[in-house]
Amino acid sequence: SKPSITSSSQFPPNLKKLALPCYDGVLDIIPTTINHLEFNRNISKQKYVTFPIELVPPHITTLVLNDSMRIQSYDLIPASITSITLCNSITPYTKIPCTVESVVLPSSFNQPLDTII
């Protein structure tokens, strides 16, 4: 069985970067010390997981999503995120906010860049 974290007090107090194997509803317990959040691989049985990017806490500035994730729309990326490794967007032709300074596109991305920036 996988470890279960239910409270931000279960994280080390000086933790700045957190890499998790999958998104499992952890956004509401991420401690405010963390500014780099990474999701490596989705281990659920679903082909894709819709990630609620609009719920990412404001202290997260770097976000790494994986290819088995989807977000509703690129324009929902919070202004606090300055660096992102993207997954695909469910809504096509939405723009990445101008507050994002660094972007890694998903391997399946195959549309003109001017459709997202």
Confidence of residue 32 (pLDDT cuts 50, 70, 90): very high
Residue of 52, 22, 53, 51 lying closest to 38 (CA atoms) = 22
Compute the radius of gyration of the chain from its Cα atoms. Answer: 14
pLDDT at 42 > cutoff 60 = no
Structural contact between residues 85 and 65, judged by C-beta atoms closer than 8 angstroms: yes
pLDDT for 93 equals 82
Query: What average pLDDT does range 24-52 have in this prediction?
Result: 84
pTM here?
Answer: 0.88
User: Residues of the chain with pLDDT > 70: what percent?
Assistant: 91
Three-state SS for 32-95 is CCCCEEEECCCCCCCCCEEECHHHCCCCCCEEECCCCEEECCHHHCCCCCCEEECCEECCCCCC
pLDDT for 3 equals 60
As a whole number of angstroms, the distance between CA 117 and CA 114 comes to 5
Question: To the nearest whole number, what is the mean pLDDT of the chain?
Answer: 88
Query: What average pLDDT does range 41-64 have in this prediction?
Result: 85
